[in-house]
Amino acid sequence: MNGRAPTSRPQIGGIRETFAPWDDPAARPLVRFDGVSKGFGETRAVAGVDLAIYEREFFALLGPSGCGKTTLMRMLAGFETPDAGRIWLADRDIAADPPHRRPVHMMFQAYALFPHLSVAQNIAFGLKRQGLPKAEIAARVEEMLALVKLEGLGRRRPDQLSGGQRQRVALARAIAPRPRILLLDEPMAALDKKLREETQFELMTLQQTLGMTFMIVTHDQDEAMVVADRIAVMREGRIVQVGRPAEVYEAPADRYVAGFIGDVTLFPGRITAREGPLVRLQSDDGAFDAEGAGDVGDQVWLAVRPEKIAVHTDPPADPRNRIAGRILDYGYLGDWTTYLVEIAPGRTIRAARANATRTVERPLGCDDSVWLTFAPSSAVVLSA
């Protein structure tokens, strides 16, 4: 999009991104958090957050409960006032605007549908506040009902709907007045797994069809990975890393991000040598080669994802990045099997193997001796 030349280095995550305004220095962000802090009593819920969200972006705030992601979102909606810092919406400082004057709408976690109003009246609520003519409101309500596939249910009351239908009404109600940015507070927390996955894809389609900017708050890393263009990982009121899902997963900023998103095995050690892009790391579990930054003598951590560790029954010829172990336990997940491999007393590693075929000649089981290997480019060197 911004004319990046195809690089000789392989692309992270194996996905070519075409939408990347955050890499474009000329692009103006739609929303900008500028040193925003907020405390409740003694606790600092949000501590000096800088963040830029771009038009048409699907942005995810990801973190465990209590990390400040909801507070950050509520400050954008206007329900909380920052103690320090500024929030810009389309180059306007909106700090002084009350919630009802912000072109920012929120889909609440428990949906917060008005129980005394019908589905159609719920969707029309924001449109009426905008003072639109009656005919236009009616047309827009119908359009919204069709958009979320609830045609014919406009006269129902919220308590006559299923959980999934209520979620759609909440969504329709929030997007009907065409906000500049839609905030979604754990929008799928109340749905079961199957419905949640469907809804994730529907949300993405909807966001792209409408060309609207979405900001989602979630503690579910899978959800954030699926729906978001970019993810901001939060921890204790701070943003630890912002990046595309593949960047956050394949190039985590630190051990926290590596461990929060997906499974990871960490090898703490010291860099003993450097050879071009490769560093040699000496750890208690052996010496490993990995691509990454760092100087000789640095204390670092090598992070390897389970699916990047190959499991062999015979010792591989290449002695590099090779660990011997014994299968302690395994879990068959259908698409994947994960193995818990003991490489030293009390020291285990997780390895995962895709079940690409239905039958395996020599199936692995508990107590089998195995060899684990990983490519130097598959490990990440973390300095924090």
Partner 1 sequence: MRRGRSGLAAILPVLWLALFFAFPFMLVAKLSLSDTALAMPPYAPRIDWSQGLAGVRAFLAGLDGETYGRLTQDRLYLDAYLSSLRIAGTGTVLLLLIGYPIAYGISRFSPAVRQALVMAVILPFWTSFLIRIYAWIAILKPAGVLNAGLAALGLPPVDILNTETAVLLGLVYAYLPFMVLPLYAVLEKQDQSLIEAAQDLGATPLSAFWRVTFPLSIPGAAAGALLCFIPMAGEFVIPDLLGGSETLMLGKVIWTEFFANRDWPAASAVAIVLLATLIAPILLFERQQAKVLRS
Q: Quick one: 30 or 242, whose CB is closer to partner 1?
A: 30
Q: Quick one: 21 or 78, whose CB is closer to partner 1?
A: 78
How far is the C-alpha of 48 from the C-alpha of 94, rounded, in Å?
A: 17
CB of 119 to partner 1, least distance (A): 14
CB of 319 to partner 1, least distance (A): 60
Considering only CA atoms, which of 284, 289, 262, 251 is closest in space to residue 383? 251
Q: Under a CB-based contact definition with an 8 Å cutoff, are residues 69 and 85 in contact?
A: no
Q: Quick one: 170 or 351, whose CB is closer to partner 1?
A: 170
**CA dihedral sign of residues 223, 226, 230, 233:** positive
CB of 166 to partner 1, least distance (A): 13
Residues, the chain, total? Answer: 384
Q: Quick one: 157 or 353, whose CB is closer to partner 1?
A: 157
Among 49, 75, 77, 175, binds partner 1 (CB under 8 A): 77
What distance lies between CA 42 and its chain's CA centroid?
29
Q: Quick one: 130 or 272, whose CB is closer to partner 1?
A: 130
Strands 265-275 vs 238-243: parallel, antiparallel or unpaired:
unpaired
| CB contact set of 310 (below 8 Å; sequence gap of 6+) | 351, 353, 372, 373, 374
Task: Please tell me whether residue 302 binds partner 1 under the rule CB under 8 A.
Answer: no
Alpha carbon distances (Å) from 126 to 84, 100, 168, 177, 335: 30, 10, 16, 6, 45
CB of 264 to partner 1, least distance (A): 36
Task: Please tell me whether residue 40 binds partner 1 under the rule CB under 8 A.
Answer: no
Alpha carbon distances (Å) from 325 to 119, 131, 244, 333, 348: 59, 69, 34, 22, 9
Task: Please tell me whether residue 130 binds partner 1 under the rule CB under 8 A.
Answer: yes
Considering only 107-115, 272-280, 324-332, 342-350, which stretch makes contact with partner 1 by CB under 8 A? Answer: 107-115
Task: Please tell me whether residue 143 binds partner 1 under the rule CB under 8 A.
Answer: no
CB of 316 to partner 1, least distance (A): 57
Q: Name which of residues 171 to 210 contact partner 1 (CB under 8 A).
A: 173-174, 177
How far is the C-alpha of 163 from the C-alpha of 111, rounded, in Å?
A: 10
Task: Please tell me whether residue 112 binds partner 1 under the rule CB under 8 A.
Answer: yes
Q: Quick one: 110 or 360, whose CB is closer to partner 1?
A: 110
Task: Please tell me whether residue 134 binds partner 1 under the rule CB under 8 A.
Answer: no
What is the phi-psi region of residue 131: left when phi exceeds 0, alpha when psi lies from -120 to 50, beta otherwise?
left
Among 99, 163, 277, 316, binds partner 1 (CB under 8 A): 99
Give the interface with partner 1 as residue ranges (CB under 8 A): 77-79, 98-101, 104-106, 108-110, 112-116, 125-126, 129-130, 173-174, 177
